[in-house]
Chains A and B, each alone.
Chain A
Amino acid sequence: MNLLEIIRFALRGLTINRMRTGLTTLGIMIGVMSVIILIAVGNGSAKQVQSSLDRLGTNSIQIRSGARGFGGGGFQSASRRNSASSAKQLTIADTKALMNPIDAADIKQVSPIMNANSTCVNGSSTSTPSTFSGVWPTYFEAANTKVVKGSYFNDDDVTQGRRVAVIGNTTATELFGSDNPVGQTVKCGGIPFTIIGTTEVKGSSGFQDGDSLFIAPITAIQNSITGYVGLSSIIVEAKSSKVTDAAQTEIQTILDARHGVTNANSRDYQTFNQASLLTTSASNSKVFTVLLGAVAAISLLVGGIGITNIMLVTVVERTREIGIRKAIGAPKRIILAQFLIEATILSLVGGLMGVLGGFIGSQFTILGVKPAIVPMSVFLAFGVSILIGVFFGGYPASRAASLRPIEALRHE
């Protein structure tokens, strides 16, 4: 009996048990597909975090109030301001002290940042920008935020406390749809602001939309929304990326003196330079990828259990059949070959469909993330599913083929 004939036997076996064939293929397909897509989503979000960090520029340093040991992550918000109430808060005077060409020779420019949570209204449209900040004009260069339509506000706007603002693309769309926002007026927290510019599209960075942005002169924000409390943070731009470490040391020397800090461990503020931001964010997105990978592995496992279950359920029927085949003279190796080919075809077809589904699914944006396929995950998912299929299709068959025909015929 030649191979072609055995393959024909295997194909006949598959068409006879249509239900089993369909379910097994589906199980393998879903397992493979979900592994590929989930890992692609994790990888895609890691890439997005990375690219938005790259766009931030490499020579900015952030200073936040609060002692070390509160997590040290890159995703703190306005509420953090009050967490170190016993300590001195960051002030405008602190900011100005950093603009010292002698003691802070490596600092190019600084800007205070005053964050708020505020909802803006234009007619029936509303928007709650995830970044709603009051700053100095120097902020735009330090934070690598460019205005592409309209203009920046200037020092005079800050001095006068003019209620003007620059907004991001998401905020603009939410408030004005496709209309040009420049020159229009919105009410944020009940206070009218005139939009004078929109910023370059930044894209989202995993969890945060970089274009959900509302930037106004700090005096306007303090006057009308937050009041004159401590600053949320100070952003510092070093003269070049090579001197960020020197700039950081200068900041610490100046602020330690102003805040009466004698011991580096008892500082009431924290500094983050680009390097530390990079590592925190990279490890954050790595955690995300690992998490998704675990979910994917579980789904592959569940798929595998499904396949195993279907294969085992049919074993009673198949064992009797194997008994009959043996009784009429089928050699063990031909029975084995037939059942192995059946299992291989099943898992190959299911696996290939899963890979195809994975590639198609990864074309869509999922949870705001553009998936990026990891080639390794494709091979892994495909390989594991084939192994599961062949093992659980082949192993029971090989056990049945080793029985005496009568034993196999009596199997229940």
Chain B
Amino acid sequence: MTHTVIDVRNAVKQYGAGQSAIFALADVSIQIESGEYVAIMGPSGSGKSTLMNIMGALDNLTSGEYFLDGIEISSMDEDALSIVRGRKIGFIFQSFNLIPRTTAIANVELPLAYQGIKSAERKMRATKALEVVGLADRMDHEPTELSGGQQQRVAVARALATRPSLLLADEPTGALDSKSTHDLLDLFDQINAAGRTVVVITHENDVADRAKRIIRMRDGKIISDEINAKKAS
């Protein structure tokens, strides 16, 4: 039994006004069912990150509606939103967004702490998440002591530690070498195989190839939305 996790209707996101107005999203509608694995592609500035931030309940729309698991996001209060962001969604940012001067493990523990999980279990789950991304030996390093790829993997571990039902990743492989990319994509496959919804933004075709559905954007609009022929089963 699947249900619609993401339901974006006539989404418009406008920056600026009048002559200099930019439409980062110009009337976008998209539905994603539970258990789907979707890749979003498109040239730089086409509105991919903007759409992802909307899906992650991090930003709001100029007009249009966004239903997450059937609930309109703009109708939720602060507390409900923090629960959605903390438990339902795992978000991997294009720019990592780790807390500065805080160790890798503390960063990964943070979302668990906000859910009220006790220190011992938190430590255990964070350690496991870091092992999964291959950073078991870098747990006590601060972001400035990690390479870009390592920081990216800490961000992935942080998103996975809460075991979210929806994983949103904005160019998660941008800072990774081909080996790490391969490992991470295997991880996404596993997560998706366990029934969770995965949405990935990417520029790379071999990353998109892993997805079952590929959406292409340009100038704030969806220009194609098709089943990935190579993956279709």
Between-chain CB contacts (< 8 Å), 15 pairs: A325-B99, A326-B85, A328-B86, A328-B110, A328-B114, A329-B111, A329-B162, A331-B78, A332-B79, A404-B58, A404-B59, A405-B58, A406-B59, A409-B58, A409-B97
Using a CB–CB cutoff of 8 Å, the interface residues on chain B facing chain A are 53, 56, 58-60, 78-79, 82-87, 91, 93, 97-102, 110-111, 113-116, 158, 162
Residues of B near A317 (CB, < 8 A) are 100
With A327-B58, A328-B91, A330-B110 given, name 14 new contacts (CB 8 A): A1-B114, A5-B113, A324-B98, A327-B56, A327-B97, A328-B85, A328-B114, A329-B82, A330-B86, A330-B114, A331-B79, A332-B78, A404-B58, A409-B97
- Least CB distance from A350 to B in Å reads 22
Q: Decide if the interface of chain A is mainly helix, strand, loop or mixed.
A: helix
- How would residues 294 to 335 of chain A score, 1 for a CB under 8 Å from any chain B CB and 0 otherwise? 000000000000000000000001000101111111111010
**Chain A: how many interface residues by the 8 Å CB criterion?**
24
- Assuming the contacts A327-B58, A327-B85, asked whether A1 and B100 have C-beta atoms less than 8 A apart, the reply is no
- Least CB distance from A5 to B in Å reads 7
Residues of B near A332 (CB, < 8 A) are 78-79, 82
Q: Give me the 7 closest cross-chain CB pairs, A-B, nearest first.
A: A329-B86, A328-B111, A406-B59, A331-B82, A405-B58, A329-B85, A406-B58
Residues of B near A331 (CB, < 8 A) are 78-79, 82, 114
Does A334 contact B85, Cβ atoms closer than 8 Å?
Answer: no
| A401 nearest in chain B by CB position | B78
- Least CB distance from A324 to B in Å reads 5
A1 CA to B109 CA, complexed, in Å: 13
| A404 nearest in chain B by CB position | B59
Does A327 contact B113, Cβ atoms closer than 8 Å?
Answer: no
Does A329 contact B114, Cβ atoms closer than 8 Å?
Answer: yes
A264 proximal to B (CB < 8 A): no
Give residues of chain A (309-366) contacting chain B, Cβ–Cβ below 8 Å: 317, 321, 323-332, 334
Residues of B near A327 (CB, < 8 A) are 56, 58, 85, 91, 93, 97
Does A406 contact B116, Cβ atoms closer than 8 Å?
Answer: no
- Least CB distance from A10 to B in Å reads 13
| A334 nearest in chain B by CB position | B114
| B101 nearest in chain A by CB position | A16
- Least CB distance from A83 to B in Å reads 71
- Least CB distance from B23 to A in Å reads 17
- Least CB distance from A22 to B in Å reads 15
- Least CB distance from B25 to A in Å reads 13
Does B99 contact A330, Cβ atoms closer than 8 Å?
Answer: no
A334 CA to B115 CA, complexed, in Å: 11
- Assuming the contacts A334-B114, A406-B58, asked whether A329 and B83 have C-beta atoms less than 8 A apart, the reply is yes
Does A329 contact B60, Cβ atoms closer than 8 Å?
Answer: no
- How would residues 1 to 12 of chain A score, 1 for a CB under 8 Å from any chain B CB and 0 otherwise? 100010001001
Give residues of chain A (139-189) contacting chain B, Cβ–Cβ below 8 Å: none
